[in-house]
């Protein structure tokens, strides 16, 4: 079983997690920029965080044979702090990086005006940079937040197929489905969505435009719930190809819209030197 | 230097022309070089000496920037420092690899800051790039010895360290010997690179008996 976790915060995870993920079949991840639990108080904290997502974390993942990409954004919670919002002006520099495959996590936390302003601006940035957008839906008042999200997407004019609306459940899935956007489900050990409820949703509405993620972070979460969902799908009678579609080909299709995914793990000798190499190939990327 | 295929070469030449006529264009061309000019199509690996097409492309752009700003070393040094500061790990690696070719910017204090920054990371790809010709040119004896020791710790092969043969001295060998003692005391293997540095003839060198 090959697994692409389309939403996981590896910055908060250990090398044991990387090992267990690789053993479970995880070969690619997308790490969305988000809140760190402790509120940031200035733009420089974002810069160091973005640099880490594009540098150190990518390197850590590579050591375990996992391809790492990220999404970059000002998250909804910190969009409410005027000390943090100037980071919006620096986002274009980061959205130009090879390792960035979407704008995100954007969206709503408490449905404030400041959140809506930052959300709208970042949906525009996604359009300007030819990137998909990855949207967090709020824990509280989720259905209203989901409706408002889809209204903003339509108002900005981003194609629904370039938008992933995440942390969905039985109540919010249909409105996103009807809008034609991608549907993300975060599978947690004991809250939100679990593998069996996920399987029931797949049985009801099929595999199109569905992404399953662990959303594992610094809170109570489990980086292997993607694998558990794949196992639950097989137990429920889905085929290996169905599992591959949900856990690999769907995320590749969604984030592949960035034109930036590199998924094949390299095979190199540690002693390759910079000059005079024979392993270089001159293809233009996607 | 590696030769690129024809289409990559054409795209690179166009980018170089743009940088020559307006050096500030490097600010957008350098970050986008992987996608817009050419890159290795596997995910970046963790091997310190992994050679990637985008490294070669970016080093060429950097050399072009150096030519374009040859008369203005101050601006050149600032542009190069900004490419590093605002770069992702791949861009930073390319700046480090190309640093030594930038005669004025590459030998200044500001260039040394970039090499030191990279050596503070634990990303072996940056450490290795910093210890190419740029490190050999810019690090003083103390910093160079610490860098070599760091390579042994983090697993950067010493054949990636430029100038090691000339700069390996008695104080470095003392440091490496004590590192080797620590490893043996802990019952752990001593890396081959450390043994070679301590005894260039090597354990396999012919002895009197054999
Ligand atoms: Zn998240």
| b/e map B47-70, b = 16+ CB within 10 Å | bbbbbbbbbbbbbbbbbbbbebbe
Answer whether A271 sits within 8 Å of B49, measured CB to CB: yes
Task: Give the tens place of pLDDT for each residue, B132-147.
Answer: 999 998 999 999 999 9
Confidence (pLDDT) at A55: 95
pLDDT, tens digit, 9 for 90 and up, residues B4-16: 899 999 999 999 9
- Residues from chain A that touch B97, judged by Cβ atoms under 8 A, are 274
Reading the block at residue B15, the tokens are 């980018």
The reported pLDDT for the residue numbered A124 is 97
Tens digits of per-residue pLDDT, A248-278? 999 999 999 999 999 987 543 333 444 433 2
Contact A166, A134 (CB under 8 A): yes
Instruction: At A207, give phi and psi (nearest 5°).
Output: -100, -10
Chain segment B49-89, per-residue pLDDT in tens = 888 999 999 999 999 999 999 999 889 999 999 999 999 99
Give the count of domains, chain B.
Answer: 1
Q: State both tokens at A60.
A: 């850590």
Return the ∠ at Cα A101 (arms to A96 and A105), rounded to 5°: 100
pLDDT tens sequence across A174-201: 999 999 999 999 999 877 789 999 999 9
Give me B187's structure tokens: 């019952």
Instruction: Check residue A270 and give its pLDDT.
Output: 37
**Is A248 part of a structural domain of the chain?**
yes
Domain that holds residue A160: 3-258
In a domain, B136, yes or no: no
Nearest CA in chain A to B122: A56
> What's residue B102's pLDDT?
83
Establish if A254 belongs to a structural domain: yes
Chain B residues within an 8 Å CB radius of A51 = 88
Tokens of B197: 């540095």
The shortest C-alpha distance from A100 to chain B (Å) reads 10
Tell whether B138 is covered by a domain: no
The answer to whether position A205 is within a domain reads yes
Residue B104 included in any domain: yes
pLDDT number for residue A269: 39
**Ligand 1 centroid to residue A105 C-alpha, Å:** 7
Q: What whole-number distance in Å separates Cα of residue A121 and Cα of residue A223?
A: 31
CB burial of residue A224 (10 Å; 0-12, 13-18, 19+): buried
To the nearest whole angstrom, how far is the Cα of B24 from the nearest Cα of chain A? Answer: 14
- Above 90 in pLDDT, residue B18? yes
B48 has a pLDDT exceeding 60:
yes
Examine the pLDDT at B205 and tell me if it is beyond 70.
Answer: no
Which residues from A are below 8 Å from B7, CB to CB?
282, 284
Q: Determine what percent of chain B is predicted with pLDDT higher than 90.
A: 80
Nearest by CB: B90 against A98, A266, A271 = A98
Residue B91, domain member (yes or no): yes
Report yes or no on B207 lying in a domain.
no
Model ipTM value: 0.86
Say whether pLDDT at A279 is over 70.
no
Identify all chain A residues contacting B53, using CB atoms and an 8 Å cutoff. Answer: 280-282
> Could you tell me if residue A277 is inside a domain?
no
- Print the SS3 string covering chain A: CCEEECCCCHHHCCHHHHHHHHHHCEEEEEEECCCCCCCCCCHHHHHHHHHHHHCHHHHHHHHCCCEEEEEECCCCCHHHCCCCHHHHHHHHHHHCCCCEEEEEEEECCCCCHHHHHHHHHHHHHHHHCCCCEEEECCCCCHHHHHHHHHHHHHHHCCCHHHEEEECCCCCCHHHHHHHCCEEEEEECCCCCECHHHHHHHHHHHCCCCEEEECCCCCCCCCCCHHHHHHHHHHHCCCCHHHHHHHHHHHHHHHHHCCCCCCCCCCCCCCCCCCCCCCCCCCCCCC
Q: Domain limits at B36?
A: 6-130
Look at residue B144 and tell me if it is in a domain.
no
Q: Kindly tell me if the per-residue pLDDT of B199 is higher than 90.
A: no
Distance CA A222, CA B189 (A): 35
CA atoms of B89 and B105, how far apart (whole Å): 20
Neighbours of ion ligand 1 (CB under 5 A): A 34, 215
Average pLDDT, chain A: 91
For residue A144, pLDDT beyond 80: yes
pLDDT at position A286 = 31
Evaluate whether residue A272 is within a structural domain.
no
| Cβ distance of B160 and A273 shorter than 8 Å | yes
Of A70-79, A95-104, A185-194, the one with minimum mean pLDDT is A185-194
pLDDT of residue A148: 95
Section A54-69 average pLDDT: 95
Does A225 reside within a domain? Answer: yes
| 3-state SS class at B110 | helix
- The CATH number for A178's domain is 3.20.20.140
pLDDT score, position A284: 32
A103 occurs within a structural domain: yes
Range with lowest mean pLDDT among A234-248, B67-81, B92-106: B92-106
- Close Cβ partners of B71 (under 8 Å, ≥ 6 residues apart): none
Quote the number of domains for chain A: 1
Share of chain B above pLDDT 70, in %: 92
Are A25 and A227 a contacting pair, CB within 8 Å? yes
Q: What pLDDT was estimated at residue B204?
A: 56
- Round to whole Å and give the CA distance between A122 and B61: 31
């Amino acid at each position: 079983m090959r697994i692409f976790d389309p939403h996981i915060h590896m910055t908060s995870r250990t090398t044991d997690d990387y090992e267990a993920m690789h053993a479970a079949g995880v070969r690619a991840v997308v790490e969305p920029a988000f809140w760190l639990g402790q509120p940031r108080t200035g733009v420089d904290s974002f810069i160091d965080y973005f640099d880490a997502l594009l540098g150190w974390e990518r390197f850590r993942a590579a050591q375990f044979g996992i391809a790492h990409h990220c999404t970059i954004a000002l998250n909804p919670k910190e969009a409410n702090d005027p000390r943090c919002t100037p980071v919006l002006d620096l986002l274009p520099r980061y959205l130009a990086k090879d390792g960035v495959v979407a704008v995100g996590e954007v969206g709503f936390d408490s449905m404030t005006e400041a959140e809506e302003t930052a959300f709208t601006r970042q949906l525009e940035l996604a359009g300007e940079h030819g990137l998909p957008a990855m949207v967090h839906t709020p824990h509280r008042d989720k259905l209203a937040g989901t409706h408002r999200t889809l209204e903003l997407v339509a108002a900005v004019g981003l194609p629904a197929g370039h938008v992933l609306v995440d942390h969905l459940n039985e109540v919010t899935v249909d409105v996103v489905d009807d809008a034609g956007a991608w549907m993300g489900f975060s599978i947690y050990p004991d809250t939100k969505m679990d593998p069996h409820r996920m399987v029931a949703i797949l049985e009801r509405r099929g595999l199109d435009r569905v992404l399953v993620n662990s959303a594992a972070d610094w809170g109570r979460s489990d980086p292997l719930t993607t694998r558990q969902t794949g196992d639950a799908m097989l137990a429920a009678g889905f085929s290996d190809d169905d599992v591959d579609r949900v856990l690999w080909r769907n995320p590749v299709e969604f984030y592949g819209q960035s034109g930036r995914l590199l998924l094949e793990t390299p095979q190199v000798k540690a002693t390759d030197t910079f000059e005079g190499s024979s392993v270089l190939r001159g293809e233009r990327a996607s | 230097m590696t030769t690129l295929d024809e289409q990559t070469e054409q795209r690179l030449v166009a980018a170089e022309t743009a940088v020559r006529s307006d050096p500030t264009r490097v600010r957008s061309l350098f970050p986008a070089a992987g996608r817009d000019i050419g890159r290795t199509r596997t995910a970046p690996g963790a091997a310190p000496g992994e050679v990637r097409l985008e490294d070669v492309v970016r080093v060429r752009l950097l050399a072009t920037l150096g030519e374009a700003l040859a008369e203005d070393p101050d601006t050149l040094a600032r542009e190069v420092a900004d490419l590093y500061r605002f770069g992702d790990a791949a861009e930073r690696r390319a700046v480090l690899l190309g640093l030594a070719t930038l005669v004025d910017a590459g030998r200044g204090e500001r260039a040394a800051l970039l090499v030191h920054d990279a050596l503070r990371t634990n990303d072996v790809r940056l450490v290795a790039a910093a210890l190419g010709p740029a490190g050999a040119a810019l690090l003083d004896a103390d910093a160079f010895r610490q860098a070599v020791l760091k390579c042994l710790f983090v697993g950067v092969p010493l054949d990636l360290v430029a100038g090691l043969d000339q700069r390996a001295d008695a104080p470095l060998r003392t440091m490496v010997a004590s590192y080797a003692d620590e490893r043996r005391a802990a019952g752990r293997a001593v890396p081959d690179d450390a043994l070679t540095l301590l005894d260039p003839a090597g354990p396999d060198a012919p002895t009197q008996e054999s």
